[in-house]
Amino acid sequence: MKRICGGLLAAVLLAAPVFPQDPASGDARQRRRAARDLARQGPEAIPRLAAMLKDPDLEVRIEAVKSLVEIDTPRSLDPLIEALQDNDPEIQIRATDGLVNFYLPGYVRTGLTASLRRTGSRLMSRFTDTNDQVIDPYVEVRPEVIQALGKLVRGGSSMESRANAARAIGILRGQAAVPDLLEGVRSKDSQLMYECLIALQKIRDQSAGPKVGFLVRDLDKKVQIAAIETAGLLYNREALPDLREVLRSTRDRDVRRAALTALAMLPDPENAPLLRQYLSDRDAGLRGAAAEGLGRLKDRSDLPALEKAFEDERDASARLSLAFALVLHGQLSTSELAPLRYLIDNLNSARRSGQAQPLLIELARDAQVRQALHPAVRTGTKDEKIGLAWVLARSGGPEDVEVLEALTRDADLTVASEALRAVRTLKARIE
């Protein structure tokens, strides 16, 4: 009898309608569950989730932001921008990563959100060392997003949320927020300063260079190296005396490498003696930086030394730098042992393609170099085609559109897809 009654009761419960949790419930736990459940309803739930961003219960607001990020549609942007004004750092961080995720899908799985942990009232997070993500140039970001993130850099409720906003601005190429990043650079927090410097590197506004030059002598090694790199990337010639002094006085190998690399990016005849001195240094990183600097100076008297060094060099990274220098000196052949061929070949290397491609991007600013690369774009390996497509995307001219459009019809679907992105990037640059 008991079994029969139990079975009837279970049947009644299973047949009973299941009502969603009430967002307006007086019970905070029910409102939290409601915020989680609303994510499954998609864009139609956004107005109700937006209203829950004003809930007095912190956990309700957090769940509402999570659901908005999960829905991830254009209609999510306004409430996420509003969430940046919350005084809780977790909400600011989650809303920031959600905004980036809309323009760079999948970002929330790798951004600061992925490491967030709350222990009581304490928020734990960890920035990843990798900070090389950036949206494609043809992706347009709403001005309100950049404005809100810039405001967060200046006045977020925690240093972590401010630094995370700076990272987001760099990924989104937020040019309008450069003044906010320069304000963040003057904070006393190393992580915020570092993230602002990396963001400025990605945006590449050269006018910002002299305004952060004072940091090349910073006591924090991570900040100092980022500032030195920024001086080179933003072509800050005002930093030349400080860079030479840092190179002369530092005992740190990493700082020395960064300083010489930055000097190499700022062609100046006064650098020539230093560069020639380091061309035969025991440190392969310093040899490579010296070679790149001598290549950019284009002094023909250095050509014999560069050719000999290229033939004798055993370190692959330094040899790439020497190949770069020789191409700058006009060696455009793509025959088997030629320097330009060596650069192209290294696009096939998982370890060295990250060095070879930026060097090729710089070289390809010269139309003659691009012309020399066209045959490899048509007939190269899969990795060569993809790598060179992005070289032309970032440095090409109108004459390169046809070459990339032909690559969009490649038999390899991955090559064709990357070529299509490259075409869109190139057209966004030149039109």
Establish how many alpha carbons lie within 13 A of residue 129's alpha carbon, considering only the half-sphere containing its beta carbon: 1
Q: What pLDDT is recorded for position 386?
A: 98
Nearest to 210 by CA among 234, 185, 241: 234
Residue 195 lies in a domain: no
Q: Whole-angstrom Cα distance, residue 214 to residue 234?
A: 14
Residue 66 lies in a domain: no
Which three-class secondary structure state does DSSP give residue 123? Answer: strand
Residue 236 lies in a domain: yes
336 lies in the same domain as 362? yes
287 lies in the same domain as 307? yes
Please state the length of the chain.
Answer: 431
Q: Give the list of residues 6+ apart from residue 243 with CB closer than 8 angstroms, or none.
A: 216, 228, 231, 259, 262, 263, 266
256 lies in the same domain as 283? no
Does the pLDDT of residue 337 top 80, yes or no? yes
Residue 278 lies in a domain: yes
Do 91 and 65 contact (CB within 8 A), yes or no?
yes
Does the pLDDT of residue 158 top 50, yes or no? yes
Residue type, 430: I
What's the mean per-residue pLDDT of the chain?
Answer: 93
Does the pLDDT of residue 17 top 70, yes or no? no
Does the pLDDT of residue 6 top 70, yes or no? no
Question: For 254-283, what is each residue's pLDDT tens digit?
Answer: 999 999 999 999 999 999 999 999 999 999
Residue 290 lies in a domain: yes
Nearest to 348 by CA among 303, 323, 393, 380: 380
Q: Whole-angstrom Cα distance, residue 211 to residue 7?
A: 76
Ordered alpha helix ranges (H), 142-252:
143-155, 159-171, 178-185, 190-203, 221-233, 240-249
Q: What pLDDT is recorded for position 22?
A: 61
Q: What pLDDT is recorded for position 14?
A: 38
Residue 209 lies in a domain: no
Q: What pLDDT is recorded for position 314?
A: 97
Q: Give the list of residues 6+ apart from residue 13 with CB closer than 8 angstroms, or none.
A: none
Domain containing residue 352: CATH number: 1.25.10
Q: Which of 331, 362, 378 delimits the end of a domain? A: 331
Nearest to 229 by CA among 186, 175, 266: 266
Which three-class secondary structure state does DSSP give residue 118? Answer: strand
Q: What pLDDT is recorded for position 366?
A: 97
418 lies in the same domain as 351? yes
* Predicted TM-score (pTM) of this structure: 0.90
Domain containing residue 317: CATH number: 1.25.10.10
316 lies in the same domain as 262? no
Residue 91 lies in a domain: no
227 lies in the same domain as 322? no
380 lies in the same domain as 431? yes
317 lies in the same domain as 336? no
Q: What is the CA radius of gyration of the chain?
A: 27
Pairing of strands 122-124, 117-119: antiparallel
359 lies in the same domain as 315? no
Total count of domains within the chain: 3
Least confident range from 25-39, 175-189, 365-379: namely 25-39
Which three-class secondary structure state does DSSP give residue 218? Answer: coil
When pLDDT is averaged across residues 93-121 and rounded to a whole number, the result is 89
294 lies in the same domain as 367? no
Q: What pLDDT is recorded for position 3?
A: 43
Q: What pLDDT is recorded for position 283?
A: 97
Range of the domain at 304: 269-331
Does the pLDDT of residue 322 top 70, yes or no? yes
Q: Which of 331, 351, 378 delimits the end of a domain? A: 331
372 lies in the same domain as 419? yes
Residue 37 lies in a domain: no
Q: What pLDDT is recorded for position 126?
A: 75
Nearest to 87 by CA among 54, 47, 117, 128: 54
Give percent of the chain with pLDDT exceeding 90.
Answer: 87
295 lies in the same domain as 387? no
Q: Whole-angstrom Cα distance, residue 329 to residue 324?
A: 9
Question: For 190-215, what is each residue's pLDDT tens digit?
Answer: 999 999 999 999 999 999 999 999 99
Give residue for tokens 């490259």: 422
